[in-house]
Amino acid sequence: MNENKIYQTLFEEYSNGYKNGLYHKTQILFAYNSNHIEGSSLNQDQTRSIFETNSFIANREQIIKTNDILEAKNHFKAFDFILENTYKNIDIDFIKELHLILKKNCSDINIIGDFKKKQNFVGDIKTTPPQSVNAQMQKLLYSYNEIQNKAINELINFHFYFEKIHPFEDGNGRVGRLLMFKECLKENIIPFIIDEEHKLFYYRGLKEYENNQGYLIQTCLSCQDYYKELLDYFEIDLTQQTTKTKTIKRKHK
């Protein structure tokens, strides 16, 4: 396995409680953007304050939902969870545990840490019926885990089909994006964070994926460029990292 400087830096800073480094910045950017895409009212400064001091100041006339605060704190814990388990293969138990961490104590969801019991939707994409979720997830995970030396577009391919299944009542996008970040680290690929600037392109990419994979792939590569700038700022050696892509030969159906 090639030396993974990004993972080493993130894990060492996390383990040692190091402040103001790559781990610290990634936690804030990831939690803010992934939650904000899903409608969180917290801004980036408030997210930073929650991470750093476990408190924040609301703007005048700003209404903050309790769930927004919980989801920020839970996202920090979920990111630590993927760092602790980066080199484990993804399976159903892992995904359910990640969801449990992400949505713990939130009041906007009935089932936490288990698959949905009622039909849901994501944009115009038809999702998998509840009774078929477990079988479809098993099929997706089998086809994904048998791929050796995965390229970034194969991670993105997994992400699309995970979102199309939409296995949980809520939190699917955030779980899916955490899984992509984890798998980038595992496969020695430069990771990325889908940010507010790319939100509409990201949704378009998901909507159009089965007709044109390029929209979603290019959006993720653009976000990857943003993360490279962060790595350059912290002087992380990217010699052994990759943005590798290859033609997808297997597609989950």
CA within 13 Å, CB half, 227 = 28
Q: Is the dihedral of CA 20, 221, 157, 184 positive or negative?
A: negative
* Cβ atoms of 31 and 79 closer than 8 Å: yes
How far is CA 105 from each of CA 62, 69, 72, 202, 206, rounded to the nearest angstrom?
A: 23, 11, 12, 28, 29
| C-alpha dist (Å) from residue 107 to 46, 65, 175 | 21, 10, 18
Count the alpha carbons within 13 Å of 36 in the hemisphere toward its beta carbon. 20
Phi, psi of 242 (to 5 degrees): -145, 160
Q: Where are the alpha helices (DSSP H) in 17-169?
A: 22-37, 44-53, 66-84, 92-103, 133-145, 152-165
Query: CA dihedral in degrees (73, 78, 80, 83; nearest 10)?
Result: -160
State the Cα–Cα distance between residues 116 and 79, nearest whole angstrom.
23
Q: Which listed residue (36, 75, 159, 166) is catalytic?
A: 166
Type of residue found at 92: I
Please confirm, yes or no, whether 166 is among the known catalytic residues. yes
- Just list the catalytic residues: 166
